Amino acid sequence: MVTFVDTVTLHLRAGKGGNGCVSVRREKFKPLGGPDGGNGGDGGDVVLVGDPQVTTLLSYHHSPHRNGGNGGFGMGDLRAGAAGETLELPVPLGTVVKSVGGDVLHDMITPGERFVVAAGGRGGLGNAALASPKRKAPGFALLGTPGYEGSVVLELKTVADVALVGYPSAGKSSLIAAMSAARPKIADYPFTTLHPNLGVVQAGDSRYTVADVPGLIEGASEGKGLGLEFLRHVERCSALLHVLDCATLEPGRDPLSDLDVILAELAAYEVPEGQTPLLERPQLVALNKIDVPEARDLAEMVRPDIEARGFRVFEISTVSHEGLRPLSFALGELVDAHRAATAVEVPAERVVIRPKGAQAQFEIKVEGGTYGNIYRVLGEKPVRWVQQTDFQNEEAVGYLGDRLERLGVEDALFKAGATPGSTVVIGTGDNSVVFDWEPSIASTAELVGSPRGTDIRVGGSARRTTNERREQYHERMDAKAAARDELEAQRRASREGEE
């Protein structure tokens, strides 16, 4: 059964924004009291929260699909829809949020830190919010936009000050149990440790965290064993402690050869760009199990050779606790020195004001097609406006055309070489809209007296103009006069024939 997970792929879908409402106030003696449709509620976000009480991503391994709440629809009498429920996902400190492609999006290292990993959709405006002095009773409302839908990768990298590295069964778990209150699994067979263990050590005034990772063996960089898979938990550590087994019974092994193998495997591990390589960090060596007489003799024999390599060596026993106090204080000195060297003064937050018009709000890409060029309009506003438009409502489509014209899309299409009838696409993927472009005159939607919900520029109008009715009236009168003249001529001809 899986008990520890440090990498998981989350499939997220934020809440959809609620649609705005189309409503007209109706009161006694006021059959058309004006628009009163409320706005739709915003969709719920999906938020990651750094929680010190969470130590694994196991819950997300079993349930990787998480959804935010949808926003409620707007209602009449200016009642706004309820906002969608925000979904908060607690994650361990040290969790790195990445895209599926591997790009780092955020690093959760502070307790209580919040990161909106999937933003909810925006609620649509009701017709009351769309009313203006010229468009007094809009017959349409804006739709809610969909929230973010996609996948992210959560990768846990343990936040610890000191990492214990060494061969399996070297006594790393026993050491962390002897130095702290941690109680990891301890047994007399290799690979007892299947996931990192954390312990807090108090050495005088120094307080630091120690991490125990699964043991390394020769060839770990090529995929053997378990240790290299968990070396990501060593990346954040400021110091390394090599735990060497001086009482091993395996043939061909001794503390010096074990140290060489561990150093070679640490050198083969590539840390992220900008971090100090593992072998360039402060390192100490602990010769373990000196409670065994033969192990004590071996530790005294190899100690000069290890010190000659530049390492500070401690002889310890996790059973009798011999040498643990000096080791804990030495590790505390390394951690305090690292904290003092990396401590920087936090600059005061600067408020940066960026004008809204500093960047282009859309762009047009010309793509070749079988029947001519295709002009694709890309940009946050045009795509969002398309998502908010109810294309079953002519007035809503006309409102979209007015917004695009004010944004300058038509002028840009002219400059890009578009002609009447050209294929124009707004957006990409499933949310795109394709139409044949017809240049419009300056917006006059507010002055057009068409019924609510219609726009004569979109669907046309079957109503005859005054001139058309006058011409048709004269044509009918002329036809009647011609018919009377013809009938009178026939009567005269018949009379002349009788005479």
Least confident range from 349-353, 355-359, 472-476: namely 355-359
| 279 has a pLDDT exceeding 60 | yes
CATH node for 1-156: 2.70.210.12
- Residue 343 pLDDT exceeds 80: no
Q: Which residue has the tokens 């005294």?
A: 300
Q: Which CATH architecture has domain 360-459?
A: 2-Layer Sandwich (3.30)
Q: Tokens 């790393």, residue? A: 172
Nearest of 115, 329, 298, 375 to residue 204 by alpha carbon: 329
Residues annotated in a binding site: 166-173, 191-195, 212-215, 288-291, 317-319
- For 171, residues 6+ apart whose C-beta sits below 8 A from its C-beta are 243, 245, 288, 289, 318
Q: Which two tokens stand for residue 383?
A: 């795509």
pLDDT of residue 22: 92
- If we measure between CA atoms, which residue out of 499, 402, 384, 476 comes closest to residue 446? 402
- In terms of C-beta density within 10 A (0-12 exposed, 13-18 middle, 19 or more buried), how is residue 416 classed? middle
pLDDT band at 181 (very low <50, low <70, confident <90, very high): low
DSSP string, 99-119: ETTS-EEEEE-STT-EEEEEP
- Residue ranges, CATH 2.70.210.12, the chain: 1-156
Angstrom distance (rounded) from CA 232 to CA 266: 11
CB-CB neighbours of 97 under 10 Å: 19
Residue 392 in 3-state DSSP?
coil
- Binding-site annotation, residues for Mg(2+): 173, 193
Cβ burial, residue 53 (10 Å; 0-12/13-18/19+): exposed
| CATH number of this structure's domain 162-342, picked from the four choices 3.30.1600.10, 3.40.1160.10, 3.40.50.300, 1.20.950.20 | 3.40.50.300
d(CA 162, CA 373) in angstroms, rounded, equals 61
Whether residue 257 has pLDDT greater than 60: yes
Integer angstrom CA distances of residue 285 from 241, 243, 255: 6, 6, 10
The answer to whether 152 and 101 have CB atoms below 8 angstroms apart is: no
For residue 241, give the 3-state DSSP assignment: strand
**Start and end residues for every CATH 3.30.300.350 domain found in the chain:** 360-459
**Whole-structure pTM value:** 0.69
Q: Which residues contact 373 (CB under 8 A, 6 or more apart)?
A: 366, 367, 417, 418, 422, 423
**End-to-end Cα spacing for the chain:** 123
Residue 249 tokens, joined: 């019974």
Q: Tokens representing 60?
A: 């997300």
What is the pLDDT, as a whole number, of residue 2? 46
Q: What digits encode the pLDDT tens for the residues 208-241?
A: 888 777 655 454 444 454 445 556 667 778 888 8
CA 469 to chain centre: 61
The radius of gyration of the chain's CA atoms, rounded to the nearest angstrom, is 38
Tokens of 34: 């004006």
What does DSSP say about strands 149-156 and 95-99: parallel, antiparallel, or unpaired?
antiparallel
Query: pLDDT grade, residue 188 (50/70/90)?
Result: very low
Annotated binding site for GTP: 166-173, 191-195, 212-215, 288-291, 317-319
Residue 243: Cβ-neighbour burial (10 angstroms; 0-12, 13-18, 19+) = buried
Mean pLDDT of 414-438: 83
Q: Is the pLDDT of residue 192 over 60?
A: no
The strand pairing partners of 49, in sequence order, are 90, 114
8 Å CB contact between 68 and 85: yes
pLDDT at 143 over 80: yes
Domain boundaries for CATH 3.40.50.300 within the chain: 162-342
Whether the predicted pLDDT of 10 surpasses 90:
yes
